[in-house]
Structure formats: C-alpha cells, structure tokens
Amino acid sequence: MQIGPRADPKVCTKVLVDDFGWDKDLTKKIWCYGPDTNGPNLFVDITKGVQYLNEIKDSCNAAMQWACKEGALAEENMRGIVFELCDVVMHADAIHRCARVRVRVCV
C-alpha cells in the first residue's frame, strides 16, 4: 500500500494506524513528505495550542525538504525519517515573524 501526498487520506490513515501504530489524529497533522514532496520522510505537527502556526508552515516544509535532500553528513538523501514539530514559541510582534527570520530558525 502506498502512503504519500497523492494517496487517499483515508487509506494513509488506515495504513499508519493499523500497520505502524500511529494515533488517528496524528495522521491528519502530516505537513509534508520529503524530499521532493513525495519521498519516504514525513514532517508531522504534534504541537498543542500554538498560535500563528500557519505562518511558519511553508518555511518549515522548505527547511525539511532541503534537509532531506542534502543529508546530515555526506550530502545524501535521508530516508525513513519522521520529523516531529514538538513545540514552537513565536514572537508576539508580526515583524519578527517574517520569512527571512523563519527559514534561519527552521534550518
């Protein structure tokens, strides 16, 4: 069975819950797959009650794509990794939440 961004969300949820023991609600909080938006790595939001989270979603996804593509040591693609966003503290002032600042923090 295929899990990915183009697969039916109900099928993905069923596979992750039945075969891998994931929580059903957690399967709905997958932000992206990587590298190249369809790879074997997942970026999952497991935060609770974080404000302004949608503002950083694109930046975090871009950082995850870049990290999966470049690798940790030898510039090789990473495979089979689940990245979990556990907690975020955002600045209350919107000027400090601009894209230039977010990409540096995500990486």
Per residue in 45-102, pLDDT (tens digit) is 998 888 778 878 888 888 888 888 888 788 788 888 888 888 877 777 766 666 555 5
Token pair recorded at residue 22: 């994931």
Residue 92 identity (one-letter amino acid): A
CATH number of 29-106: 3.30.230.10
Whole-angstrom distance, CA of residue 95 vs CA of residue 87: 21
Report domain extents, the chain: 29-106
**For the whole prediction, is pTM greater than 0.75?**
yes
